[in-house]
Amino acid sequence: MQQAPVKKKKKIKVPKVINGVETMVEIEVDDDSGPGWGPNNKHRLLNHSLSRVDGPSKVSGAAIYSYDVRLPGMLYGRILRCPHAHARLTKFDSSAASNIPGVRSVIQAPLKEFNFEGAPVAAIAAITPEIADDAIRAIVVQYEVLPHVVKAEEAISPDAPKAISGAANLKEAGKRGDPQKVNAAFADCDTVIEAEYKSQRVHHSCLETHGNVIDYRGGDTATVYASTQGTSV
């Protein structure tokens, strides 16, 4: 009878709870590497130099971004934003902005109370970016600054300022599972550790500035040039 080959062994470290403390311990397991990649010279994509389709146009400066699109009769938009985390609008006068030559439209936001810094207050459309910038600065606004909190634990306290008027800051989205079984499982644990963990918001840095150019000439359709990698209808 042919004897089965002896499997090779290797040592790895795995977490194990000892006396209520998670500790890395070394164990021995079969050295089963599974299927391999095969010879390097037989790969179709791996181990080969692949040129990016959009590489030459981007490194040469020939790539066209949304910001580069210029259309006949194009207007430029600017947004006036609230500088406060929570404020109520008490005065809005756009007459000086509307009277600037080249300004085509001034639109005020329908809201009177703003719940975050950067909330849109008004929008300007003008024939050049410079005129749009001047018009935004010409709008006269005054605010009543209202209380706000920043930390989540402060926001869920009963007397915290409301992030949205008439709505609670904390809303139960739903429940799943069996609370009795969960409590029973915790009761049988050697150690229960409660902790709070926080992570910073991460945002990728884009090569292209965020922006949109919309070519609308009446009817039910428009052509949109958008600096995004995800589109949907």
101 within a domain of the structure (yes/no):
yes
- Cα distances (Å, whole numbers) of residue 133 to 126, 141, 180: 9, 16, 61
Question: Phi, psi at residue 89, to the nearest 5°?
Answer: -75, 125
167 within a domain of the structure (yes/no):
no
Task: Identify the three-state secondary structure at position 39.
Answer: coil
226 within a domain of the structure (yes/no):
no
177 within a domain of the structure (yes/no):
no
221 within a domain of the structure (yes/no):
no
Tens digit of each residue's pLDDT (9 = 90 or more) over 82-135:
999 999 999 999 999 999 999 999 999 999 999 999 999 999 999 999 999 999
Angle made by CA atoms 80, 74, 109, in degrees to the nearest 5: 25
Contact 141, 80 (CB under 8 A): yes
Give the lowest-confidence range in 14-23, 48-57, 59-68, 190-199. 14-23
205 within a domain of the structure (yes/no):
no
Task: For residue 140, give the CATH number of its domain.
Answer: 3.90.1170.50
> Based on the structure, what is the number of domains in the chain?
1
157 within a domain of the structure (yes/no):
no
Domain hosting residue 86, numbered range:
73-150
31 within a domain of the structure (yes/no):
no
| pLDDT (0 to 100) of residue 108 | 98
